Amino acid sequence: MNHLRHISALFRLSVLFAACLTLFAASAAHAQLTIEITQGVDSPTPIAVVPFGTPGQLALPEDVAAIINADLRRSGLLRPLPKDDMLSFPRNKYEISFRDWRILGAEYLVIGNVTRSADKYSVHFELFNILSQRTVHSQTFEAGLNQLRDLAHYAADQVFEKITGIRGIFATQMIYIEAFQNGNEAQDKFRLMLADVDGARPRLLLESKQPILSPSWSPDGKQVVYVSYETGRPAIFRQEIATQVREQLTNFKGLNGAPVWSPDGRTIALTLSKDGNPEIYTLDLASKKFTRITRHFAIDTEPNWTTDGKGVIFTSNRGGKPQIYQVTLASGRIERLTFEGGYNARPRVSPDGKSLVMVHRENGVFHIAAQDIASGDMRILTETYLDESPTIAPNGAMLMYATRYRGKGILAAVSLDAGVKFRLPSKQGDVREPAWSPFID
Q: What tens digit of pLDDT does each residue of 51-67 get?
A: 999 998 788 999 999 99
Better-predicted residue by pLDDT, 23 or 272: 272
Does 45 score more than 60 pLDDT?
yes
- Which amino acid does the sequence have at 205? L
pLDDT band at 346 (very low <50, low <70, confident <90, very high): very high
Q: What is the pLDDT of residues 283-304, one digit of tens each?
A: 999 999 999 999 999 999 999 9
- pLDDT at res. 393: 96
Q: Is the pLDDT of residue 113 over 50?
A: yes
Average pLDDT score over the chain? 89
C-alpha to C-alpha distance for 408 and 391, rounded to whole angstroms = 20
Query: Averaged over 404-416, what is the pLDDT?
Result: 87
pLDDT value at position 40? Answer: 55
| % of the chain with per-residue pLDDT over 70 | 88
Is pLDDT above 70 for 73? yes
| Across 379-408, average pLDDT | 90
- Report residue 338 CA to chain centroid gap: 23
3-state secondary structure of 17: coil
SS3 76: coil
Side-chain half-sphere CA neighbours of 389 within 13 A? 31
If you ran DSSP here, which 8-state letter would residue 51 be given?
A: P
- Between CA 275 and CA 273 the distance in angstroms is 5
pLDDT for residue 83: 94
Pairwise pLDDT comparison (4 vs 393), residue with the higher score = 393
The structure's pTM equals 0.88
Share of the chain above pLDDT 90, in %: 77
- Say what the pLDDT of residue 428 is: 66
What would the pLDDT profile of 235-269 be if each residue is shown by its tens digit?
Answer: 999 999 999 999 999 999 999 999 999 999 999 99
Give 361-391 as a DSSP string: EETTEEEEEEEETTT--EEE---SEEEEEEE
Ordered domains of the chain (ranges, CATH) = 3-36+170-436 (2.120.10.30), 45-164 (3.40.50.10070)
Strands 235-240 and 279-284: unpaired
78, β-bridge pairs: 45
Q: How far apart are CA 416 and CA 379, in angstroms?
A: 9
